[in-house]
Structure 1
Amino acid sequence: MTHATPSHAAQLDVADQLLTLLRTAATEPRPDTQLEALTLAVAADLPVLLWGEPGIGKTAALTQLAAALDLPLTTVIASVHEPSDFSGLPVLGDDPAEQGVPMAPPDWAVRLVKAGRGLLFLDELSTAPPAVQAALLRLVLERRIGALTLPPAVRIVAAANPRSSAADGWELSPPLANRFVHLQWTHDPEVVVRGLGGTWPLATLPRLDPERLADAVDFARRAVCGLLAARPALVHRLPSTETRRGGPWPSPRSWEMTLRLIAFATAAGSARDVLSQLVRGTVGDGPGLELLASLDRMDLPDPEAVLADPLGAELPERGDLRQALLDGVVAVVKSRPEKARWDAAWTLLVRALETGAPDLVVVPATTLAALRREDWDVPPAIERLAGVVALSRRADRAGRSASERTAVPAGVGR
């Protein structure tokens, strides 16, 4: 009995079935800070630039994001286009002297306008030469391509490899870099293993609380304006090196973007790690960390309220925030020294000693002790703190002595 040999076409059909099975994957809700940061920036309608080494899944993440958000994905490889592809090609009409010469947009832009929504993915951005980067400026900031303006429902995300790993790579120009939220895209081995097994994290837009919108805007404005009023040098700071100019740095434009991100993160109740990635990816690490520290201080209780109820006040768990609160309480006592306020501050320091690291009360206790007036009785609480302060001072003296003994005099051993 002979068996018929399957035709080549039939074999390709079977191969296609196998490929379909391999491409089929499910999604699941899973905590992923970088994916949450990306979706939050997309919801805030800010251009995002994903930085990462080749092959770590930037393109796959954007494909999955577009599918999860039900947005048509349009991929444009920036390095294989000419500047005119983004600024528009001149088209002669019937009477150029009267009607001018319109700039015709590329076909992908026309498709996006007709669809009314979509996700525009600018891939391999770091391989685009300077002339192409210059042509992208208007697209990224104003959403204009030739005579067309992209609809508001179109979001822009780009991806780039570091210059060291990019094929014929270029540094991003400062004007183009300053238009993006820069996110460092890394791979999580657990996510990769589970994804290869058929289940990837689910990308979802942040759930904004309608009742928190006004408060979120007010909080974001107070945070950014408060920092810049105290640190005006941070309003605009162009980095000195070419590499850093191609990343996030502070400018009025990037601070405006940061304000929007804080408002969205506040309205969505996003975690601090997510907000940290977004803020540092917009104005840079230094200014971003200063802003995050300022945000933490904004969440601290009013020192006067804490002083009014030292036994019932809630003390922060984080050491740096607790230290800031204790320092703030001592500062308001120093500004208006009164016996009752002085005693209340000691009561608070004792609570801090009992519920946290002892070293956090050393500096506030030393400062508070120096505020004592001659006619003020020493409260019993000081006795409980005296040992901690004395131990800290002995440790400091021992440390200085050890450093002096191990110091090598100039010229010895040469």
Structure 2
Amino acid sequence: MTSHARLSLADDLLNLLRASTTEPRPDERLEALTLAVAADLPVLLWGEPGIGKTAALTRLAESLGLPLTTVIASVHEPSDFSGLPVIGEEPETRGVPMAPPQWAVDLVRAGKGLLFLDELSTATPAVQAALLRVVLERRVGALRLPPGVRIVAAANPPASAADGWELSPPLANRFVHLYWTHDREVVVRGLGGVWPRAELPVLDPARLAESVDFARRAVCGFLAARPKLIHRLPTTETRRGGAWPSPRSWEAALTLIAFGTAASASRDVLSLLVRGAVGDGPGLELLAHFDRMDLPDPETLLADPSAAVLPERGDLRQAALDAVVEAVASRPDRQRWDAAWAVLVRALDTGTADLLVAPATALAALRRDDWEVPAAIERLAGVIGLAERAGRSVDLVAR
């Protein structure tokens, strides 16, 4: 057998090894990635070397029918992204155009594609600065990438990267950060020739306007209550290279919430996306705010305590009662104070007493000297006192 024939057989074996199929399979990270891609937001996949980031992007491009353009950021010069100056005739009057690289020209000709910026954490600060316009404005030199081009990047943690750099805060704040880990079953099935199928989210056309309204109410309502989180640059260099809250990243979070709501994404997928945009702390606070958006208006409860409808879930009921106390504290008068006690009695009639200890204590502290004690307090006193004694008994047993 000739050497050529042997190489041909080797190629046949390699082709058999590389052949694979896909299957629909629940995968929260892959779903979060495809949703962010559909929302046309730049995504940065963080993961240890060899975890499968590049392979996931290759399968994603194949599933979406997009040509994949891979650019290794660390082996390029800043001019490869900002453009190379080309001096033509009469530069003093016509200027000096910035010629884009071939890969950008090919993307524009195709009109669509998946631009994969790999090894981002090994790119020098000068290259990272040149990437700012590519990621945010979709400009490479004098060329604007078409709307059909989506941008996904990948990076290893600086400790695992070869000659790694921390990501600059301006560049980091332009990405939705997703942390890629391996799943045992996915790896085993994939090595067996079957990988999860990446599919774009199915948006419900009847919920588009509703989804936008919900996202705006959620983010705007949360930031109105927590204005200090509108912009918070982390204090450490490592955290500045990840997700953190800014007006830009809150806009990304709003977009992701709208897309996730229209696609009926799970809470876990929304959590990955929101935390990937604004950071873990602010993201988790926003998710908790979702639950409180549909809480009853405390002024409505105070206006008619006997008809008050309180949430069934314990944490939401506690939040509703706390809101009633806060409403009285913000505008205290005798009538509102009495009404708040009536709301607590209503809560006692329709739920458990242990949730009443904190709001009743806080409400009692609001009493003015000339306010008579309402009859409702007498009904609550025994129950709350029993709950407090039970709590002290548990503490004694624990000691």
Deviation at 1:110, TM superposition (A): 0.6
Does residue 388 in structure 1 map to residue 387 in structure 2?
yes
- Output the CA distance in 1 between the equivalents of 2:243 and 2:32: 15
1:37 corresponds in structure 2 to 32
Q: Is the 8 A contact 1:343 1:379 kept in 2?
A: no
Counterpart selection for 2:311 from 311, 315, 337:
315
Question: How many Å separate the matches in 1 of 2:298 and 2:306?
Answer: 10
Deviation sequence 1:220-276 (CA, Å, 0-9, x none): 222222222232222222222111111111222112112211221122221121111
Greater Cα offset, 138-147 or 360-369? 360-369
Alignment of 1:10-409 (within 5 A): 10-303=5-298, 313=309, 315-317=311-313, 319-328=314-323, 337=336, 342-343=341-342, 345-353=344-352, 359-364=354-359, 366=361, 374=373, 376=375, 387-395=386-394, 398=396, 402=399
Contact 2:301 2:343 in 1 (8 A): no
> CA offset at residue 352 of structure 1?
2.8
Change (3 A) 1:360 1:197: farther
Does the 8 Å CA contact 2:168/2:241 hold for their aligned counterparts?
Answer: yes
By how many angstroms is 1:376 displaced? 2.3
Q: Secondary structure at the match of 2:65?
A: coil
What is the rounded CA distance, in whole Å, between the counterparts of 1:309 and 1:375 in structure 2?
14
Residue of structure 2 in register with 1:410 after alignment: none
Q: In structure 2, how many angstroms separate the alpha carbons of the residues matched to 1:117 and 1:180? A: 20
Evaluate the alpha carbon distance shift between residue 178 and residue 377 of structure 1 in structure 2; reply closer, same or farther with a 3 A threshold.
Answer: closer
Corresponding residue SS for 2:375: coil
Judge which range, 275-284 or 119-128, deviates more.
275-284
Shift in Å, 1:285 = 1.8
TM-score (norm 2): 0.87
CA distance in 2, matches of 1:244, 1:375: 53
d(CA) in 1 for partners of 2:25 and 2:83?
42
How many residues matched? Answer: 390
Distance in 2 between residues matched to 1:203 and 1:20, nearest whole Å: 22
2-side partners of 1:158 and 1:386: how far apart? 58
Deviations 1:145-190 (A, max 9, x none): 1111000110000000001000110111111111111111111112
Instruction: Check 1:194–1:299 CA distance in 2 against 1; reply closer, same or farther (3 A cut).
Output: farther
* The 10-residue stretch of structure 1 (52-61 or 209-218) with the greater mean CA deviation from structure 2: 209-218
- The one-letter amino acid of 1:315's match is P
Aligned mates of 2:306, 2:276 — CA distance in 1: 39
Gap change, CA 1:306 and 1:35, over 3 Å in 2: farther
CA contact (8 A) 1:315 1:352 kept: no
Give the TM-score of the pair, scaled to structure 1. 0.84
Name the aligned partner's letter for residue 38 of structure 2: A
Deviates more, 1:306-315 or 1:189-198: 306-315
Q: Percent identity among equivalent residues?
A: 68
Gaps of 5+ in 1: 1-5, 403-414
Q: Which runs of no fewer than 5 residues in structure 2 stay unpaired?
A: none
Secondary structure in 2 matching 1:164: coil
* Cα distance in 1 for residues equivalent to 2:336 and 2:397: 34
* Kept in 2: contact 1:235–1:250 (CA 8 A): yes
Alpha-carbon distance between aligned partners in 2 of 1:333 and 1:342, rounded to the nearest angstrom:
11
How far 1:366 sits from its partner (Å)?
A: 4.9
SS in structure 1 of the partner of residue 116 of structure 2: strand
Answer whether contact 2:174 2:249 (CA < 8 A) is retained.
Answer: yes
Q: Secondary structure at the match of 1:165?
A: coil
Change (3 A) 1:18 1:164: same
* 2:42/2:176 contact within 8 Å kept: yes
Match of 1:118, SS? Answer: strand
Distance 1:189 1:359, change over 3 A: farther
Q: CA deviation at 1:325?
A: 3.1
